[in-house]
Amino acid sequence: MSEALKTLKPKRLNDPDMRGAEKAIRRAALKARERARRFGHGIIVYENGKIVEKFTEEDEGTEIEPD
């Protein structure tokens, strides 16, 4: 990625649909984490070039091999 793209600040859109999008995404992420914790599953994330399963009780993840 070029340096120009890295330094650009995100534009705030005045679109009514976009105003609440960030809050909605954060709310959905919290619900997903809570559901995963309730059922004993981890959250799948991409970290350091690998796909890992993170558990709320543990800092270490389980590496998942992509298909």
Within a domain: residue 47? yes
What's the confidence (pLDDT) of residue 10? 63
Within a domain: residue 58? yes
Within a domain: residue 1? no
- Structural domain including 47 reads 42-67
Per-residue pLDDT of the chain (67 residues; tens, 9 = 90+): 556 556 656 666 677 777 888 889 999 999 998 999 899 889 888 999 999 998 865 444 455 555 5
Residue 14 backbone dihedrals phi, psi, to 5 degrees: -95, 15
Within a domain: residue 53? yes
What pTM was estimated for this model as a whole? 0.54
Total of domains in the chain: 1
Dihedral sign for Cα 16, 17, 23, 24, please.
positive
Within a domain: residue 50? yes
Within a domain: residue 22? no
Within a domain: residue 57? yes
